[in-house]
């Protein structure tokens, strides 16, 4: 009988170039699509912060599109009245916005038709423009938003139903991050407002998983000088941290914001773990003593791979706050009328900081192999989102001029989405994707001279033996060393090129998830177990050969 031996040499399977954009696909639906639409609109900075109002409306009106029907206004159930109001405002109050939308999204709202609302992006843009035109200042609480929704969008709507259906949930568990707050204790703030800031800090910290290998938090208090209230390695429990926060004293004095930013960079972030997201949140109420110094200090911090959020309360200098915040600054700057509103942005700050990116700078072209290792996966069944931005260049020192990213997982499933243009790629919007399961890494690659944005959605697997699951995690390797990318086939002792059929039969479809795990695990290799029965055929074997062995002892027998 003929014996076919398929020899597997750790093969990265790139499933690239299948650009997915559900935001412009009529009738696409689901929370992913809603998030992608809002994400695209918000990162364009054409329309301002909606404080989750758009997401809540999508949840309430159509359950994220799941209850929408064709030609009925799409995910946001845009009515004829709303559409006409927006078309009219394009000639007057929202002329600039409509023009910018045309430039950025190639959608001419001023000539929009009701049928076009079936396209998620168009339904979203129309509703967003309507809200911006009718509501000058969107409040943060879902209760206040429910009243506005009833007043401007759905007069027959039930506000209790709005509140019940529109709770926003997300997971901050198993997040590794260095989170540093700088809080303004200057004279203009006053002790009551300073107290509100402390309560805000307490509420933000409560939802985080504080631990030496997870999220670490530091607080800097500043007025004319900056003082570290506690450092990244001072407290490793929420209770000790919140009790310290409540004892931070108000001082009064000037507003040396640059000094707080420099203290963060020079004294606090110097302890940051390698390749862990660094997040700086500035809470202030006024003009800094020196705008130029402040913006310069912020630029230096941003260049050092740190994401900056600014929360400006009251009569702040908006230009300064926008210049300090990370780009796109409309997403990273929160403008509040008073400290009483600060509670309303707790979940936004939690979510945005928990998903802040690891910034990997490979522009020097010298780095071949960057590891972002031991990314924990939540122990429950929630899905964690991690983002990584890779700034690469065409001088990157690898032979193919490609940025290649590998993700390997233990006890979990990691879905990877990547894009060269959109900072938060997802199932609904991406250019590249891959999936990793135990023993079967996922790969994505893109041209090296383009910035690459990646999202990793991970969750634990509950179908594996518990021994594999004591420490569910995944590792991300950027441009890992060549692991030997070859499959060869030997039939009756004679080597030949593998046909696509050989490979498909052995490993399932070339791209995507299949049910045949790659047997060549590290453990198997270390134990010298390198031959495996073919899962689907009695006349075939799979044999793993380390790369070196291929060229020295090409002697393969079926066991």
Ligand X SMILES: *[C@@H]1O[C@H](CO)[C@@H](O)[C@H](O)[C@H]1NC(C)=O
**Residues binding ligand X (CB under 6 A):** 191, 195, 265, 269-270, 272, 304, 366, 368, 373-374, 380-381, 394-395, 397-401, 408-410, 449, 462, 475
Nearer to ligand X, 270 or 500 (CB): 270
Nearer to ligand X, 292 or 373 (CB): 373
Nearer to ligand X, 42 or 440 (CB): 440
Of the candidates 271, 353, 365, 265, the residue with the CA atom closest to the CA atom of residue 305: 265
Nearer to ligand X, 173 or 368 (CB): 368
- The Cα–Cα gap between 467 and 461 comes to 12
Given a contact cutoff of 8 angstroms between Cβ atoms, the answer to whether 119 and 133 are in contact is no
Nearer to ligand X, 49 or 231 (CB): 231
- The Cα–Cα gap between 38 and 540 comes to 51
Phi-psi region of 528 (alpha: psi -120 to 50; beta: other; left: phi over 0): left
Q: Max alpha carbon distance in the chain (Å)?
A: 89
Residue 198 to residues 24, 101, 201, 220, 228, Cα–Cα distance (Å)? 43, 39, 5, 12, 15
Phi-psi region of 314 (alpha: psi -120 to 50; beta: other; left: phi over 0): left
Nearer to ligand X, 415 or 475 (CB): 475
Q: Find the shortest distance in angstroms from Cβ 191 to ligand X.
A: 6
Q: Find the shortest distance in angstroms from Cβ 164 to ligand X.
A: 17
- The Cα–Cα gap between 408 and 477 comes to 8
Q: Find the shortest distance in angstroms from Cβ 282 to ligand X.
A: 17
Q: Find the shortest distance in angstroms from Cβ 67 to ligand X.
A: 21
End-to-end Cα, the chain, rounded Å: 14
The residues, ordered by sequence, that sit 6+ positions from 354 with a Cβ below 8 Å of its Cβ are 170, 171, 172, 175, 177, 208, 215, 385
Q: Find the shortest distance in angstroms from Cβ 441 to ligand X.
A: 8
Tokens of 399: 């032979």
What b/e string do you get for 227-255 counting C-beta neighbours within 10 Å, with b at 16 or more? ebbbbbeebeebeebbeebeebebbeebb
Tokens of 70: 């064709």
Tokens of 40: 């695209």
Nearer to ligand X, 302 or 351 (CB): 302
Q: Find the shortest distance in angstroms from Cβ 436 to ligand X.
A: 9
Q: Find the shortest distance in angstroms from Cβ 489 to ligand X.
A: 27
Given a contact cutoff of 8 angstroms between Cβ atoms, the answer to whether 294 and 324 are in contact is yes
Q: Find the shortest distance in angstroms from Cβ 377 to ligand X.
A: 11
Nearer to ligand X, 87 or 362 (CB): 362
Nearer to ligand X, 74 or 277 (CB): 277
Of the candidates 445, 558, 450, 495, the residue with the CA atom closest to the CA atom of residue 12: 445
Q: Find the shortest distance in angstroms from Cβ 507 to ligand X.
A: 19
């Amino acid at each position: 009988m003929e014996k076919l031996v398929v020899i597997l040499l750790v093969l990265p399977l790139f499933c690239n170039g299948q650009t997915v954009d559900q935001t412009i696909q009529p009738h696409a639906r689901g929370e992913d699509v809603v998030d992608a639409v809002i994400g695209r609109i918000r990162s364009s900075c054409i329309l301002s912060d909606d404080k989750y109002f758009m997401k809540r409306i999508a949840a309430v009106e159509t359950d994220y599109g799941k209850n929408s029907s064709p030609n009925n206004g799409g995910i946001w159930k845009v009515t004829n009245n709303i559409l006409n109001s927006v078309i009219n405002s394009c000639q007057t109050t929202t002329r600039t916005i409509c023009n910018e939308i045309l430039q950025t999204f190639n959608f001419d709202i001023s000539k929009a038709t009701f049928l076009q609302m079936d396209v998620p992006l168009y339904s979203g843009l129309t509703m967003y423009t309507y809200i911006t035109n009718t509501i000058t200042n969107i409040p943060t609480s879902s209760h206040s938003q429910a009243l506005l929704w009833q007043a401007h969008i759905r007069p027959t709507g039930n506000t209790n139903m709005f509140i019940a259906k529109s709770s926003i949930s997300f997971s901050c568990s198993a997040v590794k991050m260095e989170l540093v707050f700088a809080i303004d204790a200057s004279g203009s703030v006053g002790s009551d407002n300073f107290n509100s800031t402390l309560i805000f800090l307490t509420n933000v910290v409560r939802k985080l998983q504080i631990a030496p290998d997870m999220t670490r938090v530091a607080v800097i208090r500043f007025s004319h000088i900056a003082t570290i209230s506690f450092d990244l390695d001072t407290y490793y429990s929420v209770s000790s941290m919140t009790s310290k926060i409540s004892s931070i004293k108000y001082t009064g004095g000037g507003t040396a914001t640059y000094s707080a930013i420099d203290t963060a960079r020079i004294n606090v972030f110097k302890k940051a773990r390698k390749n862990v997201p660094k997040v700086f949140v500035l809470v202030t109420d006024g003009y800094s003593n020196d705008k130029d110094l402040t913006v310069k200090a912020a630029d230096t911090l941003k260049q050092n791979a740190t994401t900056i959020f600014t929360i400006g309360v009251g009569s702040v200098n908006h230009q300064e706050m926008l210049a300090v915040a990370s780009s796109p600054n409309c997403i990273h700057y929160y403008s509040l009328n008073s400290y009483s509103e600060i509670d309303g942005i707790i979940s936004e700050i939690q979510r945005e900081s928990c998903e802040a990116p690891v910034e990997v700078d490979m522009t020097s072209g010298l780095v071949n192999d960057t590891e972002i290792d031991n990314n924990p996966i939540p122990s429950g069944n929630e899905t964690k989102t991690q983002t990584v931005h890779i700034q690469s260049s065409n001088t990157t020192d690898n032979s193919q001029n490609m940025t290649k990213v590998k993700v390997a997982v233990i006890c979990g499933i990691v879905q990877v989405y990547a894009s060269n243009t959109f900072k938060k790629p997802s199932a609904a919007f991406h250019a590249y994707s891959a999936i990793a399961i135990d023993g079967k890494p996922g790969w994505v690659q893109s041209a090296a001279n383009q910035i690459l944005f990646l999202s990793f959605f991970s969750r634990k697997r509950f179908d594996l033996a518990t021994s594999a699951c004591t420490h569910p995690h995944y590792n991300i390797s950027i441009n890992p060393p060549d692991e030997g990318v070859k499959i060869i086939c030997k039939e009756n002792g004679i080597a030949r090129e593998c046909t696509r059929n050989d490979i498909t039969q052995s490993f399932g479809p070339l791209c995507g998830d299949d049910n045949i795990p790659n047997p060549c695990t590290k453990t198997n290799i270390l134990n010298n177990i390198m031959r495996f029965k073919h899962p689907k055929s009695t006349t075939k074997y799979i044999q793993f050969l380390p790369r070196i062995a291929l060229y020295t002892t090409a002697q393969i027998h079926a066991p």
